[in-house]
Structure 1
Amino acid sequence: MSKLLLVDDDIELTNMLTEYLEREGFHVTAVHNGDAAVREALNGDYALVVLDVMMPGMSGIEALSRIRTHSKLPVLMLTARGDDIDRIIGLELGADDYVPKPCMPRELVARIRAILRRTSNDTTTTNHEPLQTGALTLYPEKRQTLWHGQPLELTSTEFNLLEVLARQAGQPVSKADLSTHGLGRPLTRYDRSIDVHMSSIRHKLGNLTDGRSCIQTVRGIGYQLIGE
């Protein structure tokens, strides 16, 4: 049973979501402010945090930033419908995904399960060979990344997206494929999640010796990983 941390100052909504999530087989701990969210996330043994953006006192954005300073724990943000700014900031700070509020509990469960599927180690795999292209080395079974021989800190979502690109290095990968295999869900209209995650990965990798980014935008298609 996966343990979830649910953070929202709306107690009625929290109670409703807790009841639904527990019926779906999750064990839920609910808190109602950012301070408690950070404390629980860093001290508890949780598989994922569902974190509302709009809360009094410490906002969900600030709580996410503090969590990311110390932990790679998957975080799913609850954002106001149509509020692209909070959504983009959350993704830039390392949120794994988001669900607009008001949300259908069924959609929330689907997003949670998608994140948990892609962040859990696949203990059934027998291929433990590293995935290497140029200066980039990925260890899928360990979910570790080396760039020029040095450890590279990535969020779980960033690792998944980079792995998709690395497995097709030198070839364009569509945003639809990146969303399906990296985010675990179909690409939706006007969804900028892939672009924001790619921007973050580019920033962490830096440029090649010739000044280019190793992740190239392929207009009208998606992205392509290139070597030195």
Structure 2
Amino acid sequence: MVSRVLVVDDDPTVSEVVGRYLRRAGFLVDLVGDGPAALRAAAAAAPDLVVLDLMLPGMSGLEVCRRLRAHGDVPIVMLTALGDEADRVVGLETGADDYVTKPFSPRELALRVQSVLRRAGGSRPGASVPELEDGDLRVNPDAHLAFRNNTQLPLTVREFDLLVHFLRHPGRVFTRADLLEQVWGWTVGDQATVTVHVRRLREKIEVDPARPARIVTAWGVGYRYERTGH
């Protein structure tokens, strides 16, 4: 099945180049230049992934991200200006799954899109993976679903990947660099990405996110998952 990608960028040159590379990679691509048009396009033909520039006229990319997140869990890859770390962190907190900084390689962006979509799709048919459980927490990697107290958790693609990784390695300490490489697949990148996703994940799986019992901080090192169930 061919995946549909919605590209939202007000620079027609960027949109055209990105669209061309994504089509070459085998995607159906819709191009729009502002936030309202993006929301209309998403409502008319639900995308499998959105490539979203943060700097948009009228309605900001962050607001578009919030509104898309309010209506579903479509994966979002942000485009941000080089050095705009604060905006990037806010975008990740809003629910984006990945980011690429401008100027960027269209080929790199296409690879990022493929990676996020592959993770969002879960495991391949025939490669069934056992469910992961910890007390009131239950995760089905095949279906890409997570539940706490039998209520489905609204996790982004990267939050889900991070949770699965922790559940598969309880008691082990991971540095932010470890997680960036093993969960995101990046050998270089902004480690603040990991910090933001851990904070967001804690808000969804911890009884008291301010005093996490599951994803605990190993001070000066990184994070460790502690099982709470039996």
TM-score normalised by L of structure 2:
0.90
Q: Counterpart of 1:148?
A: 149
Q: Counterpart of 2:216?
A: 216
Provide the rounded CA distance (Å) in 1 between the counterparts of 2:182 and 2:166. Answer: 10
Provide the rounded CA distance (Å) in 1 between the counterparts of 2:182 and 2:43. Answer: 28
Q: Tell me if structure 2 keeps the 8 A contact 1:50–1:76.
A: yes
Task: Report the secondary structure of 1:82's partner residue.
Answer: coil
Provide the rounded CA distance (Å) in 2 between the counterparts of 1:222 and 1:114. Answer: 25
Given the superposition, is the C-alpha separation of residues 212 and 190 from structure 1 closer, same or farther in structure 2, using an over 3 Å criterion? closer
Q: CA deviation at 1:38?
A: 1.6
| Letter in structure 1 aligned against 2:68 | I
Task: Report the secondary structure of 1:90's partner residue.
Answer: helix
Q: Counterpart of 1:227?
A: 227
Q: Counterpart of 1:69?
A: 70
Task: Report the secondary structure of 2:91's partner residue.
Answer: helix
Q: CA deviation at 1:163?
A: 0.4
Q: CA deviation at 1:130?
A: 1.5
Q: Tell me if structure 2 keeps the 8 A contact 1:133–1:169.
A: no
Provide the rounded CA distance (Å) in 2 between the counterparts of 1:220 and 1:42. Answer: 45
For structure 1, which segment, 82-91 or 135-144, has the greater mean C-alpha deviation from structure 2 after superposition? Answer: 135-144
Provide the rounded CA distance (Å) in 2 between the counterparts of 1:221 and 1:145. Answer: 27
For structure 1, which segment, 193-202 or 216-225, has the greater mean C-alpha deviation from structure 2 after superposition? Answer: 216-225
> Does 1:96 find its partner at 2:92?
no
Provide the rounded CA distance (Å) in 2 between the counterparts of 1:198 and 1:222. Answer: 11
| Letter in structure 2 aligned against 1:175 | R
Q: Counterpart of 1:203?
A: 203
Provide the rounded CA distance (Å) in 1 between the counterparts of 2:13 and 2:212. Answer: 50
| Letter in structure 1 aligned against 2:150 | G
Q: Tell me if structure 2 keeps the 8 A contact 1:208–1:214.
A: no
Q: CA deviation at 1:20?
A: 2.2
Per-residue deviation, residues 125-152 of structure 1 (Å, max 9, x unmatched): 4435311123321011111112233322
TM-score normalised by L of structure 1:
0.91
Provide the rounded CA distance (Å) in 2 between the counterparts of 1:9 and 1:167. Answer: 42
Q: Counterpart of 1:120?
A: 121
- The runs of 5 or more residues in structure 2 that have no matched partner are none
Q: Counterpart of 1:136?
A: 137
- The runs of 5 or more residues in structure 1 that have no matched partner are none
